[in-house]
Structure 1
Amino acid sequence: MHITRRENWWDEAGQGIGAAEWGALVAADPCLATAPMWFTAGRIVSKNPGDAVIAKMREVAKVLKARIQGDDGEYDHA
């Protein structure tokens, strides 16, 4: 799953999430340092996340004014 601001996580155009934004979130929330999420190419990624990680991804997406998108382009609507 991907946290992204772009139309689709694989798009190169559009507003990405900045490394400094991600770093600030990790610094403010120690749980993120151990969460199976990582920053890459303007988005935050987690492979095969469980329910607890998905819940945390929803929190992060809300803070970043982004959304969660699956590998096949489906959006998380929770």
Structure 2
Amino acid sequence: MTASYWLEAMNEMGIDYLFCNMGTDHAPIIETMAQWRKEGRKYPQVILCPHENTAVHMAIGYYRATGRAQAVLVHVDA
């Protein structure tokens, strides 16, 4: 449920791309995206990145090129 609200917020903010370094803590978000895809609902396009720094730098580059901020999603090591 929380993942749905989070994705809805991304849509409301005009986020088109989600630069990600996914981890096991993102399963609910991934599952919600899969369900939304089946339903034909819009959500930010996921761009997988091999490292957290890569994700952040890609988002910064996108902003510098377009003037539109995007989102970054990374995982934490506990």
Q: Normalising by the residue count of structure 1, what TM-score does the alignment of the two structures yield?
A: 0.30
Q: When the two structures are superposed, what TM-score results if normalisation uses the length of structure 2?
A: 0.30
**Structure possessing the higher radius of gyration over alpha carbons:** 2
